[in-house]
A = this chain, B = another copy of it.
Amino acid sequence: MTATASIQTGPKITNGVNVTALRDTIEAVKGNAEIAKFNFRATNTWLGGEKNRSTIKQFSGALQEHRIDGNAFVVDNGEAEVLLGEDRAPNPVEWLLHALIGCMTTTTAYHAAARGIAVEAIDSRIDGDLDLRGFLGLSEEIRKGYSAIRVHMRVKTNAEGATIKALTAMSPVFDTVSRSVPIMVNIETC
């Protein structure tokens, strides 16, 4: 028996994303669609007035339960003074913007990595218009939720803006919100 030199290669990492693991996941899902089925959950307790608190913990996916003994994230909803609260936490429609811009950012990083596109920075701003007459029940014609959302995303990459824009549209929260509310997405590459 002769000694052979062995080269230990680690996973391929692009944009901080483990592309080897991502490709392994895709192959696994192709072999068994049940692996792709996820169920996410939260519980929530009202704390009086505008205050309530969610606990985000266990979820299922890839044929198993996760965070059984792990992290429990405890997060609050509030309202600012003008909406009759004490401004102790973002309000639910602000949390929706956080979910949306976060999902578009993570999705861009992951899908760019899968395509071999290096991304060095992503900085965004997002805003949404909401007419309180809908919530107050003063008009049937005015929506209770957002009527329009705008996203401006500045991405440091060599890829074209149109390519990055297509990646953002793979986002699960973008899928949910954009089928309900017009979202104007502006991508600036640099």
Contact = CB atoms under 8 A, between A and B. Distances in A.
Contacts of A48: 15-16, 109
A41 B146 CA distance: 12
Contacts of A91: 40, 106
Chain A, interface size category, equals 35 or more
A102 B92 CA distance: 6
Contact of A101 (B54, B110, B131, B146): B54
Interface of A: 15-18, 21-22, 25-26, 29-30, 33, 35-46, 48-52, 54, 56, 59, 61-62, 64, 66-67, 70-71, 73, 75, 77, 79-84, 87, 89-103, 105-107, 109-110, 119, 121-138, 143-146, 170-177, 179-181
